[in-house]
């Protein structure tokens, strides 16, 4: 044995107990034996438990064997009891065996005790296994009966009737309560289905074919079918427990089928609307932003094929500058703080161009309120945004023109007011100089007055020329004059900001046919931008706080050009904005210091003159802007 034998011995004679123990240890060396000699000791030992076998003498003073056997069977009914006695008749022994004694041994034949114990232990094991199996079978039958009676699915056990191997009818052998509740059919056991549901063989032949096939082959099947004879949809699982018999377990799904049909029709209507809509429509994953469904219009807007779109996320085609704003609005809706959101943003098309769209997005939620996916309509508003931008540009140009006209009017009035006293001062100074002795201090002072009044007069003329809109569209002009006139207006500003200015403009350069006021405007704008970049990098004095202005002749395609360069050692232009600096209203300056129109207008002026405005830059080191103008732009002086 694999475990220690625990033996309970009922014996009042010590010598007999020791003899029994001696015989047992020869076969079971590790056996644990315990002797009890009264009913109380026996009850306590049984209560303690853990005994494998009870060996009992027939005659123990104060306790009959029948009492001992009854107590054992009451507390431990599966515990083997072996009777050991000095003398006992055969009839008595048989009677005791019938009452529950497992074996009988005479005291003068104790050599049989160990084998008897071994047999009793094996029989006890068999009884335990058998009783466990019987109990399991009983519980299984109870479970089956409970399941059969209480299952919500219908259950029908039937025998198929064949005619020349063709299913012709079947008999209900057994059905559960759910069968009657679901089908409305009562008292069908023992009846043919053709009796219970007349005409079913003709109206629903497929049902007979499936049941017949399963009953013959034994292969289970699961299917959904509409039974016309009952006007109901069923979901059925059928199997065959034996030849020509089948069990059908079913549920009525008529309501579900109706809902599915309604959903199918609704889905078809939605699909038709989705595909032919005149605006883009799409669904996306609420967690990842992956496109789940897109229509042809959205593909046309983005330039991607549908299968390409479904491999992308919304953020991947959204312009980088719009992603954060778009995500915040999206999260606002997902959290339930708003039912939907509308936003104008930019998509990056497959070819890299930008398209403006108006997005109206909402969340589709499940029955539990959890977000499932997004639903969005996307309208292409690129043309509208272009028209708005053009309108704003025209309005800005109009305002700028009005400002120049106002400045011109003001300058004209100021010129008249200033020119007269300046002329008087200049004449009187000249008279004083003429009357004073040559080389005298008075003559020197008078000469200085004449020089300064001429400078004031030049500044007034340049200011008036800058603001004036000539009726002549262009005329020959020298860049050296344009540079000098502009610097006479702007030079003091550069000196005040402690900017070192170097000018290298040869005087023998050819003239160009241009609108000199516009070229002066471009030059002024380039100087202003260079000054702002230097002040940003070096607010105070610095030896590298310089602007270099130069003009050089160049050639393009065999034609002569002049290149006006304004170079600074300022902050440079970062790579991410270089492509946009000529865009209207794009500026990195605060609202009160820039409109974003200066370079845009300058670029337009260069193109109007058949020229080019471009730049070279190194972030942190500086920038060079080059205005290149053709010497012969094929304009005539008389053109207007």
Tens-place pLDDT, residues 479-492: 999 999 888 878 87
Structure-model confidence comparison of residues 599 and 634, the more confident one = 599
Cβ(248)–Cβ(193) below 8 Å: no
User: How large is the average pLDDT for residues 320-348?
Assistant: 88
Which residues touch 386 (CB under 8 Å, ≥6 apart)?
none
- As a whole number, the mean pLDDT across the chain is 84
For residue 543, the Cα-to-chain-centroid distance in whole angstroms is 54
State the number of CA atoms in the 13 A half-sphere of 106 facing the CB.
Answer: 7
User: How large is the average pLDDT for residues 619-630?
Assistant: 92
Q: Output the six-digit token pair for 216.
A: 């013959």
- What is the share, in percent, of the chain residues with pLDDT greater than 90? 34
65-75 and 39-48 are packed helices; what angle lies between their axes, rounded to 10 degrees?
A: 20
Cα–Cα distance, 70 to 57 (Å, whole number): 15
408-439 pLDDT, tens per residue?
Answer: 667 667 766 777 787 778 778 888 888 888 88
The structure's pTM equals 0.39
Question: Would you place residue 469 in the very low, low, confident or very high pLDDT band (cuts 50, 70, 90)?
Answer: very low
- Give the model's pLDDT for residue 314: 92
Q: Output the six-digit token pair for 564.
A: 């006006």
Cα–Cα distance, 621 to 548 (Å, whole number): 14
Cβ(189)–Cβ(175) below 8 Å: yes
| Domains, in order of start, for the chain | 6-131 (3.40.50.2300), 151-257 (3.30.450.20), 277-380 (3.30.450.20), 381-469 (1.10.287), 475-630 (3.30.565.10)
Sign of CA dihedral 530, 535, 537, 540: positive
- Give the model's pLDDT for residue 262: 84
End-to-end CA separation in angstroms for the chain: 124
- Give the model's pLDDT for residue 277: 79
- Give the model's pLDDT for residue 346: 94
Any idea what the Cα angle at residue 520 is, between residues 491 and 471, rounded to 5°? Answer: 140
246-296 pLDDT, tens per residue?
Answer: 999 999 999 999 888 888 877 777 777 777 778 899 999 988 889 999 999
Cα–Cα distance, 328 to 517 (Å, whole number): 48
- Give the model's pLDDT for residue 486: 86
58-97 pLDDT, tens per residue?
Answer: 777 777 788 888 888 888 888 888 888 766 666 777 777 7
């Amino acid at each position: 044995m694999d475990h220690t034998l625990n033996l309970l011995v009922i014996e009042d004679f010590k010598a007999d107990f020791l003899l029994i123990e001696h015989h047992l240890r020869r076969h079971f060396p590790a056996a644990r034996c315990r002797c009890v000699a009264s009913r109380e000791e026996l009850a306590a030992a049984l209560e303690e438990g853990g005994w494998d076998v009870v060996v009992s003498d027939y005659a123990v003073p104060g306790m009959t064997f029948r009492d001992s056997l009854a107590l054992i069977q009451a507390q431990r009914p599966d515990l083997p009891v072996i009777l050991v006695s000095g003398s006992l008749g055969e009839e008595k022994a048989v009677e005791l065996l019938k009452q529950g004694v497992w074996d009988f041994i005479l005291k003068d034949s104790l050599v049989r005790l160990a084998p008897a114990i071994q047999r009793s232990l094996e029989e006890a094991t068999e009884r335990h296994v058998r009783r466990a199996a019987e109990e399991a079978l009983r519980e299984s039958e109870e479970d089956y009966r409970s399941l059969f009676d209480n299952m919500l699915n219908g259950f029908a056990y039937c025998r198929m009737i064949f005619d020349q191997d063709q299913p012709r009818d079947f008999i209900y052998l057994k059905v559960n309560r759910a069968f009657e509740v679901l089908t409305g059919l009562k008292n069908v056991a023992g009846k043919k289905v053709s009796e219970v549901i007349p005409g079913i063989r003709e109206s629903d032949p497929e049902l007979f074919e499936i049941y017949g096939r399963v009953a013959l082959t034994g292969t289970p099947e699961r299917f959904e079918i509409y039974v016309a004879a009952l006007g109901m949809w069923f979901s059925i699982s059928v199997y065959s427990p034996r030849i020509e018999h089948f069990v059908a377990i079913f549920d009525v799904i008529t309501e579900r089928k109706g809902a599915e049909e309604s959903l199918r029709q609704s889905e078809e209507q939605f699909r038709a609307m989705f595909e032919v809509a005149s605006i883009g429509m799409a669904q996306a994953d609420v967690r990842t932003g992956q496109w789940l469904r897109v229509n042809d219009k959205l593909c046309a807007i983005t330039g991607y094929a549908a299968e390409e779109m479904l491999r992308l996320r919304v953020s991947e085609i959204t312009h980088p500058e719009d992603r954060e704003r778009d995500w915040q609005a999206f999260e606002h809706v997902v959290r339930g703080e708003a039912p939907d959101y509308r936003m104008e943003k930019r998509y990056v098309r497959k070819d890299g161009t930008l398209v403006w769209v108006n997005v109206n997005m909402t969340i589709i939620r499940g029955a539990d309120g959890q977000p499932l996916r997004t639903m969005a309509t996307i309208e292409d508003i690129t043309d509208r945004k272009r028209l708005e931008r053009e309108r704003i540009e025209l309005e800005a140009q109009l305002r700028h023109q009005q400002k120049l006209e106002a400045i011109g009017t003001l300058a004209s009035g100021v010129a008249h007011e200033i020119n007269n006293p300046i002329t008087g001062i200049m004449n009187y100074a000249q008279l004083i100089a003429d009357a004073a002795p040559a080389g005298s201090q008075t003559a020197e002072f008078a000469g200085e007055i004449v020089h300064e009044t001429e400078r004031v007069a030049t500044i007034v003329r340049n200011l008036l020329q800058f603001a004036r809109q000539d009726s002549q569209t262009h005329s020959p002009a020298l860049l050296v004059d344009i540079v000098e006139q502009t610097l006479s207006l702007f030079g003091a500003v550069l000196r005040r900001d402690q900017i070192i200015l170097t000018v290298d403009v040869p005087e023998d350069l050819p003239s160009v046919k241009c609108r000199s006021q516009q070229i002066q405007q471009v030059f002024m704008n380039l100087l202003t931008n260079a000054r702002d970049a230097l002040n940003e990098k070096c607010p105070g004095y610095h030896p590298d706080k310089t602007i270099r202005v130069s003009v050089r002749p160049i050639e393009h395609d065999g034609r002569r050009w002049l290149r006006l360069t304004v170079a600074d050692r300022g902050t440079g232009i970062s790579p991410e904005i270089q492509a946009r600096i000529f865009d209207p209203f794009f500026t990195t300056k605060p609202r009160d210091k820039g409109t974003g129109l200066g370079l845009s207008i300058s670029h337009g002026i260069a193109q109007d003159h058949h020229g080019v405005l471009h730049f070279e830059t190194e972030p942190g080191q500086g920038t060079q802007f080059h205005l290149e103008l053709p010497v012969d732009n094929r304009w005539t002086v008389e053109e207007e």
